[in-house]
Amino acid sequence: MSGKATVKEYMTKDVATVSPDDTVATVARRIAESDGHNGFPVCQGRKVEGFVTARDLLLADDDAPIFTVMTDDIIVAHPEMKVTDAARVILRSGIQKLPVVDDAGNLVGIISNTDVVRSQIERVTPEKVGKLMRTLEQIHDTRVTQERRKVDLDRLIPTQGRVYADELEGRRYELERGLAEPLVVIDNAGTLLLADGHHRVMAAHSLGVEEMDAYVIVVEEGVELGMQRTAEKEGLNSIGDIAVVDYARHPLVETIERLQ
């Protein structure tokens, strides 16, 4: 993903909304019963009229219509707006979510601070993919292509024999908030080798996730890969063969602590 990623690539398109005529009590109940919602765009049809948050409802009369308590002077984003520009707006305004509207003012999505963070995490992945593709082509004198798709975790063959428990906790935290970057997988004649993302896979597996988004490097003609030979030699046939090390900290953490 380049620095020109747009809002439409990361926004949530299926947006829950409320009507200006809904009562405070009705919307308060929806917030209480929802999974993570602390506010809603207020729409008349598809047209955005305002935004209401849980804070707006405090001390308001239960029977009051939402249009009397909502914020109608709202900041919105456009689908073609750069994510970096949306990030600046979110940072400077302190708003957690921006309704996304088209040229006619109709609601087409919503982008949150979490979406912005995710966009920045994913930016570095294509660089890893490109470097690995060039390396495979040079070493094995073969042609490779790249595609983005979901992969079944049970089909993955790891190329790393252990992960660290402390790093695993961090990856669980990211996954629960939708912040994990895609995996990097090599499809070698139907054999799926996990090249990057072992902690993410183990964290996802512990949370009951069955498939994940991945950049898949497809080797045009099956070749004998060194990482595949190493995996076979170490008895790594599935993610269940990865050991979780809980008696040592991640090498990066150890390095940082030594420098402090």
- The string of pLDDT tens digits covering residues 77-99 is 999 999 989 988 988 888 889 99
When comparing pLDDT for 8 and 3, which is higher? 8
Hey, which bits of the chain come out as E strands? 39-44, 47-53, 97-101, 107-112, 144-152, 156-158, 162-164, 183-188, 191-196, 211-219, 243-245
Q: Which amino acid is at 158?
A: P
The pLDDT value given to residue 124: 60
Residue 258 has pLDDT above 50, yes or no: no
Residues 6+ apart with CB under 8 A from 17: 40, 41, 42, 43, 107
Task: Say what angle helices 198-206 and 165-176 make with each other, to 10 degrees.
Answer: 70
Predicted confidence (pLDDT) per residue in 51-74, tens digit? 999 999 999 999 999 999 999 999
Cα 116 to its chain centre, rounded Å, is 9
Structure tokens belonging to residue 192: 């799926």
User: Alpha helix (H) ranges present in 162-217?
Assistant: 165-176, 198-206
Owner of token pair 């921006």: 98
Cα 55 to its chain centre, rounded Å, is 27
Q: How many angstroms separate the Cα of 45 from the Cα of each of 42, 233, 240?
A: 9, 61, 50
Hey, which bits of 77-153 come out as E strands? 97-101, 107-112, 144-152
Residue 256 has pLDDT above 50, yes or no: no
The pLDDT value given to residue 107: 97
Give the domains, in start order, of the chain with CATH numbers.
7-119 (3.10.580.10), 124-259 (3.90.1530.10)
Q: What is the pTM of this model?
A: 0.60
Least confident of 106-120, 171-185, 219-233, 242-256: 242-256
Distance CA 139, CA 146 (A): 17
Q: Are strands 156-158 and 47-53 parallel, antiparallel or unpaired?
A: unpaired
Contact 28, 67 (CB under 8 A): no
The pLDDT value given to residue 260: 43
Percent of the chain surpassing pLDDT 90:
65
The pLDDT value given to residue 173: 85
Owner of token pair 């729409």: 43
Contact 171, 203 (CB under 8 A): yes
